[in-house]
């Protein structure tokens, strides 16, 4: 028996996560256990799920997150491989319930797979999104090679320098990642500091670059969060291809950017 049986809505969410996990592996962004995904699945929870007993002891989140009262999340398991999750999502991830104190969670299904070590960041972000009335339900952390490489250069860590460069490589990038790429100075992986810094940047950006580590993106669902990372990394690849051909790419001109911003009704 699985929590997904006879629950097509919930099963669809988990299938989408598995599909994206496969893409992350194919792209070379998910070495070993690299990266993690969580999805707020509370809208798919019924009374039978609410009555399900825990299959783990209560564990501390590390924060008190009042907006998560009564929420449920599908989470990638810590130390689990994306390439395995792609085929067996309920063996490499689990569904957790936030307890009423909003500071602890317990695993409820299908297996006692401990959630990702980046849970503080993921849950703090979901708490933030709910607080601002957002319809975003998914968060994706991954290690895209070219974007991480860019984060090793001080110039690209200045506010909006990388965003402007990436937007100017191909018109679609601003169209499909209109809020750009926020920069988060290096912080210890899995730390509460990293979580707090990430929330701050999400006020202005849907995708953030964790210096010398990876990206963290949010969107309505897991596919949309993946797409935003994918278009940004595509631009990084175009930039690098031009550099490898021996020239600095011109980028779209300010006039071309302005024309596109108006035509597609994008934020300035």
| CB-count exposure of residue 99 (10 Å: 0-12, 13-18, 19+) | middle
Within 8 A by CB and 6+ apart from 252, the residues are 167, 168, 169, 171, 260
- With beta carbons less than 8 A apart as the criterion, state whether 231 and 167 touch: no
Residue partners of 1: CB distance under 8 A and separation at least 6: 110
Examine the residue annotation and report whether 118 is marked as an active-site residue of this protein: yes
Residues 63 and 180 sit within 8 Å (Cβ to Cβ): no
Which residue's CB is nearer to ligand 13P, number 96 or number 257?
96
Size of the site for ligand 13P (CB under 6 A): 12
180 binding partner (options ligand 13P, Zn ion, none; Cβ < 5 to 8 Å by kind): none
Region binding ligand 13P by CB under 6 A among candidate stretches 76-84, 216-224, 230-238, 249-257:
76-84
Active-site residue, from 19, 31, 91, 118: 118
| From 11-19, 37-45, 209-217, 232-240, span contacting Zn ion (CB under 5 A) | 209-217
Q: Is 118 in the site for ligand 13P (CB under 6 A)?
A: yes
The rounded radius of gyration (Å) of the Cα atoms in the chain is 19
Tell me if 213 sits within 8 A of 186, measured CB to CB: yes
User: Of these, 136, 214, 238, 251, which contacts Zn ion (CB under 5 A)?
Assistant: 214
**76: contact with ligand 13P by CB under 6 A:** yes
Binding region for ligand 13P (CB under 6 A) out of 30-38, 46-54, 233-241, 243-251: 30-38
Nearest distance in Å: CB 219, ligand 13P: 19
- In terms of CB distance, is 40 or 116 closer to ligand 13P? 116
Residue whose CB is less far from ligand 13P, 88 or 264:
88
Contact call for residue 33 and ligand 13P (CB under 6 A): yes
Tokens of 231: 């278009």
The answer to whether residues 173 and 260 touch, using CB atoms and an 8 Å cutoff, is no
Output the smallest distance, CB 82 to ligand 13P, in A: 9
Q: Least distance to ligand 13P from the beta carbon of 2, Å?
A: 22
CB atoms within 10 A of CB 31: 13
Q: Is 115 helix (H, G, I), strand (E, B) or coil?
A: strand
Say whether 199 sits in a helix, a strand or coil. helix
Residues that bind ligand 13P (CB under 6 A): 33-36, 76, 78-79, 116-118, 141, 189
Residues that bind Zn ion (CB under 5 A): 214
């Amino acid at each position: 028996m699985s929590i997904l049986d006879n629950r097509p809505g919930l099963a669809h969410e988990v299938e989408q996560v598995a599909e994206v996990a496969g893409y992350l592996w194919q792209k070379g962004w998910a070495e070993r256990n690299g990266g993690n995904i969580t999805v707020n699945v509370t809208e798919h929870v019924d009374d039978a799920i609410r009555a399900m007993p825990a299959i783990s002891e209560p564990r501390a989140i590390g924060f008190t997150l009042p907006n998560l009262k009564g929420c449920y999340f599908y989470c990638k398991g810590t130390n689990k491989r994306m390439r395995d999750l792609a085929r067996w999502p309920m063996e490499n991830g689990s569904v957790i319930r936030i307890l009423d104190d909003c500071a602890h969670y317990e695993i409820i299904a299908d297996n006692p797979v401990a959630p990702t070590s980046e849970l503080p960041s993921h849950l703090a972000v979901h708490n933030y999104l709910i607080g601002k009335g957002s319809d975003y339900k998914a968060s994706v952390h991954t290690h895209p090679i070219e974007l991480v490489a860019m984060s090793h250069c001080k110039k690209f860590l200045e506010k909006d320098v990388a965003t402007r460069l990436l937007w100017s490589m191909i018109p679609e990038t601003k169209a499909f990642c209109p809020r750009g790429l926020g920069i988060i100075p290096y912080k210890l992986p899995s730390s509460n500091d990293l979580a707090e810094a990430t929330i701050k940047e999400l006020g202005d950006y849907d995708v953030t670059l964790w210096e010398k580590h990876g990206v963290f993106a949010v969107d309505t669902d897991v596919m949309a969060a993946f797409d935003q990372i994918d278009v940004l990394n595509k631009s990084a690849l175009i930039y690098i291809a031009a550099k490898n051909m021996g020239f600095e790419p011109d980028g779209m001109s300010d006039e071309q950017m302005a024309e596109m911003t108006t035509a597609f009704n994008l934020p300035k």
